[in-house]
Amino acid sequence: MLVKPLRIGVLGALTIDLNEIDGLSYKFLGGGGFYSSISLAGIGVETTLFTAYGQDMDLQWVEKLKAVGVKVLVQKFEKSIVFENFYKGSSRIQRASGELSGKIFIDRDMVKGLHAIHVTPVLNEVDHVVFKELAEAGCKVSIDAQGFIRKVGEDNRVINVKRLFPNEFLKYVDYIHMNLEEQLFFLERDVRELFECNPNIIIEITDSEHGSFVMDKKKCYYIPAFKTKSIDPTGAGDVYASIFLAKHIEGKSLLEAGLYASASASIKVEKTGSLFVLDPVEIENRVSFLKKVVENLY
């Protein structure tokens, strides 16, 4: 079924990101809420961001997000979450400070008219009751695992922990994205446990330049990565998850949606957050290339 125009919500905090990549640094908006919403708006989706930040947020950054078509609904707290990402080669060290003093909450009335919502916290800042509200609203729900397995440890280092997302809420989730490392913390055993909670769930597992897998209970596809030079990988997983959600709801198959997600994520890694924008024409060009790569696989 082809659904247009798409209306998708994104739920997650906006952060202040300090990124250092091989000695070069920049400061800008961050968080899955930023990368997901700017990606969706970039491909023409009517996008609403339900978010939170503190009084220390640079509002000019938020205005830039609004300028590309994202509707921003914000809960304000005293301080924003500040993330520091230090990259050296393929390794990353993360530090965070300024955790929100409360949880982000939305109710069913706030999501009326949305086809789906992508829930992408950075430090488990979304109230889990939200998932019942979304289910009662009849909204498709996608989540990114990363924000449900992270805590701030010693020296403000961000560490992965066992899942902070209760089993009882998995039945409300239609799509889930996690990378190869995150699945070790989000899952107790393997992906079969997700199908036991919800037989209709769709799973995306990404592994950076090595490609990704998308699957439902009956089918699994390998999605190759588009080979390119990586300048800044921050947010690539968020781009992948949000574009996959949009394309699948739009009516594309698992394989096709995965190709669009992979192509879009490859555009992100070529740019820093402050310069990132998706070009629909370039996405189509890269999808065409990836289709040729997989045409003999399936």
CATH of the domain at 171: 3.40.1190.20
What is the C-alpha to C-alpha distance for residues 263 and 108, in angstroms, rounded to an integer? 33
Tell me whether residue 2 is in a domain: no
Tell whether 259 is covered by a domain. yes
Label the pairing between strands 212-215 and 202-206. antiparallel
What's the first-to-final CA gap in the chain, in angstroms?
A: 22
Split into its structural domains, the chain has a count of 1
Mean pLDDT, range 43-64, rounded to an integer: 96
Q: Is residue 235 part of a domain?
A: yes
Residue 284 is assigned to a structural domain of this protein: yes
User: Tell me, what amino acid is at 73?
Assistant: L
pLDDT of the residue at 2: 52
Q: Which residues span the domain enclosing 97?
A: 7-294
On whether residue 140 sits in a domain, the answer given is: yes
Q: Is residue 195's pLDDT more than 50?
A: yes
pTM of the model: 0.94
Residue 1 located in a structural domain: no
**266, part of any domain:** yes
Distances (CA, A) of 285 to 128, 216, 260, 279, 292: 39, 27, 10, 10, 11
Question: What's the rounded mean pLDDT across residues 29-52?
Answer: 97
- The answer to whether residue 3 scores a pLDDT higher than 70 is no
